[in-house]
Amino acid sequence: HVFVRALKAVVACPGGFGANREMRSLHDPRLYNLTTTNNPAASTGEVLVMMQDIGADVTGMDHIQCNPGCPPGRKLRVNMFSWPQNMIMVGFDGKRFIAEDSRRDQMRDAILALPKQTAFCIQDDYGQSLNNVGHQKDNLKGLETGDAWRADTLEELAKKAGIDPANLVKTVEEYNKGCEAGHDAGGKKPNNLRKIEKAPYWAGYAGMSVHHTMGGVVINTDTQVIDRHGQIIPGLHAVGEVTGGIHGSNRLGGNAIADIFTFGRLTGIAIANGK
């Protein structure tokens, strides 16, 4: 062990608890078997528990964000979902179940309600070509690992992936008609509509992976940690994913950079001023 004596303050910034299966499922039991986008050696929640042990209050612990990823039991995360205009999502029944440009919390709840907590992204070859190079490599690897499939017809694609063939063909036909009309019956916004029509067609698993925990310790505007009686815990600051109440129930993607600059500066000013 290494002991460091802090003369002015301690700043807790260890990340969240998305990689701690027991801790996250305590607050949302649906998440126990899910994979995570987090580093398994980080986001494990120990520092959060240590702050609770000395009286820190917490909030929003059940607000846990997920991103599409590999379903329970799989290891490779193929990616055909980053651009909602380039794909649709279906279940094993070949039917769409949500507008693909919905909020992350809505997407999480919809996919976790499906059989095996598993969905599929469906893309055509043009949509696949628009994915970034890294995702294209993962998707090609998925063809080898059984996490993605490619075929010249939708019927063949469905059979390879274990999706209902007749329903998938009908679903894509109806979706393409909506693209032509500029109105999607499934609710996708008009600017995100693009037909799926260029063979070969692609399918890839889209389960849910735990991504970001919005819950954590309560802080004030000087990033000082607040205890369960509403009082400041002297000398203790917290920033980043270990804090709660900053992003509400649905953090917007890309906010990590805003967190770093905003709360890093606020913390530095507060400590410099003796808070």
Are both 10-63+214-272 and 68-209 of the same fold? no
The answer to whether the CB of 200 falls within 8 A of the CB of 150 is yes
67 strand-pairing partners: 209
**Which CATH number among 3.40.50.150, 3.40.50.300, 3.90.700.10, 2.60.40.1180 corresponds to the domain 68-209?**
3.90.700.10
State pLDDT tens for residues 75-100.
999 999 999 999 999 999 999 999 99
What's the pLDDT score for residue 90? 98
**pLDDT score of 106 more than 90:** yes
What's the pLDDT score for residue 62? 96
State pLDDT tens for residues 162-194.
999 999 999 999 999 999 999 999 999 999 999
What percent of the chain stands above pLDDT 70? 100
What's the pLDDT score for residue 256? 85
At residue 204 the predicted structure's pLDDT band, cuts being 50, 70 and 90, is: very high
Give the residue ranges of DSSP H helices in the chain: 21-27, 46-53, 104-112, 125-129, 133-145, 154-161, 165-181, 255-272
CATH superfamily of 10-63+214-272: FAD/NAD(P)-binding domain (3.50.50.60)
Domain spans in the chain, listed from the N-terminal domain onward:
10-63+214-272, 68-209
Q: Which two tokens stand for residue 274?
A: 């003796």
Of 14, 77, 56, 80, give the one whose Cα is nearest residue 213.
14
Q: Look over the chain and give the mean of its residue pLDDT values, rounded to a whole number.
A: 95
Peptide bond into 200 cis (omega under 30): yes
What's the pLDDT score for residue 41? 86
Q: Which residues are catalytic?
A: 104
**Whole-number Å distance between alpha carbons of 187 and 124:** 20
**Whole-number Å distance between alpha carbons of 89 and 98:** 8
Residue 72: exposure state from Cβ atoms within 10 A (0-12, 13-18, ≥19): middle
**pLDDT score of 206 more than 90:** yes
Of 8, 16, 24, 1, give the one whose Cα is nearest residue 47.
16
State pLDDT tens for residues 139-148.
999 999 999 9
Q: Per-residue pLDDT averaged across 28-42, rounded?
A: 91
State pLDDT tens for residues 39-89.
888 899 999 999 999 999 999 999 999 999 889 889 999 999 999 999 999
What's the pLDDT score for residue 115? 92
Q: How many CA atoms lie within 13 A of 87 on its CB side?
A: 26
What's the pLDDT score for residue 255? 86
